[in-house]
Amino acid sequence: MASSPGPLPPAEITRRLQARFGEDLLEASVALGQAVVRVTPERYRELVGTLRDDAEFACDFLDFVSAVDRGEDGMEVVVQLWSTSRRHQVRVKVAAGTDEPRARSISDLYPGANWHERETWELFGIDFEGHPQLVKLLLPEQFEGHPLRKDFALTTRLAKPWPGEETTGEGPE
Amino acid sequence: MGLIERTPLVNLQPVKFLLNWGRKYSLWVMNFGLACCAIELIATSTSKHDFIRLGVIPFAHGPRQADLLVVAGTVTDKMAPALKRVYDQIPDPKYTISFGSCSNCGGPYWDSYSVTKGVDQIIPVDVYVPGCPPRPEALLHGIIKLQEKIAHEDIREKWSGKLTGAPAPS
């Protein structure tokens, strides 16, 4: 069996990305055994492209694109990348802003991102610039609003409040 | 107008009994399985629980052959029009069993943005089987309850379709 280089340690991934992106890498940490980086919107596509094309990262597989509603801090797009050859993964986060949140599309870099971005667009209302076909994927056509936003009103909950304990949303970092 | 409507025979108790007896042990079931409850429905059709011994025949190839619709699983608002369409295609007399908490009332998805809270908002329901998911025995019990209901029916009223029409829009 041909030997392929093993996985890069998460700390090594963040170190190498920091060396390349410097100030534009707003945050780099190791969480739950994987590298997590936050990048400026300007160099988001460049970072994803680097992770895909550069042989030392070789992230050839896009696991998912999703988002987090951080309330007053705005929306955040989360991308998970995986290297099938080196067997390591990287999580990329990028701020999308508060009013009319937007992010650059990476569906030309990873065709698999197409549907993930459509889903994130309809559920969070984040506009993906450069996406070829931003139309509803899962929601019914007549559906109004973005149901995974924190300010989306669940009509059932208005009639009957949540009977259990409030979930605070605090989890392991 | 068919024979049933024209003849006074069905007013006679023995005739009424016989017709209902025949109908209640001949229910060709339409599988509308949408989630984990569908597995329990299928399990009820297989050899161990075997609802064919109650005269429930698995499974109609399409709604136009079916007598009984079992909605087993989570109906979403997006799926609801398809369910309505399937129900409308079933010829009278027809019966519906709502199987499991999701189709009864939304179940664990009671506050979801996408789930229909109760299939009875879309179509009339004859028997509700509770559980998440209910065991096959529960469905067998529900079928027996439905058969008790059929046994006491006025066949002409049922045939008219008035009982199975869409619920009036509120």
What six digits make up the tokens of A92?
């990329």
Dist. CA A47–CA A64, nearest whole Å: 16
Tokens representing B36?
A: 């984990």
Nearest by CB to B111, which of A139, A143, A154?
A154
Return d(Cα B41, Cα B35) in angstroms, integer: 10
Strand partners, B24: none
Instruction: Give the residue from chain B lying closest to A147, CA to CA.
Output: B113
Closest CB from A138, A139, A156 relative to B111: A156
Distance from C-alpha of A112 to C-alpha of A79, rounded to nearest angstrom:
12
CB atoms B78 and A152 under 8 Å: no
Give the number of A-B residue pairs with CB atoms closer than 8 Å: 21
Closest alpha carbon within chain A to B80 = A140
> Which residues of chain A are within 8 Å of residue B106 when distances are taken between CB atoms?
156
One-letter amino acid of B123: I
Residue A60 burial (CB < 10 Å; 0-12/13-18/19+)?
Answer: middle
What's the complex ipTM?
0.74
Q: What is the pLDDT of residues A113-166, one digit of tens each?
A: 999 999 999 999 999 999 999 999 999 888 889 999 988 888 888 888 877 776
Per residue of chain B (170 residues), give pLDDT as tens: 567 777 777 778 888 888 889 989 999 999 999 999 999 999 999 999 999 999 999 889 999 999 999 999 999 999 999 999 999 999 888 999 999 999 999 989 988 999 999 999 999 999 999 999 999 999 999 999 999 999 988 877 777 766 666 554 44
Handedness of CA A105, A106, A107, A112 (dihedral sign): negative
Closest CA to B104 of B78, B79, B77, B73: B73
CA angle B113–B68–B22, rounded 5-degree value: 160
Q: What is the pLDDT of residues A27-81, one digit of tens each?
A: 999 998 899 999 999 999 999 999 999 999 999 999 999 999 998 899 999 999 9
Rounded CA-CA distance A144/B113 in Å is: 11
pTM for the whole thing? 0.81
Give the chain B residue nearest A160 (alpha carbons).
B111
> Which tokens go with A129?
């610039």
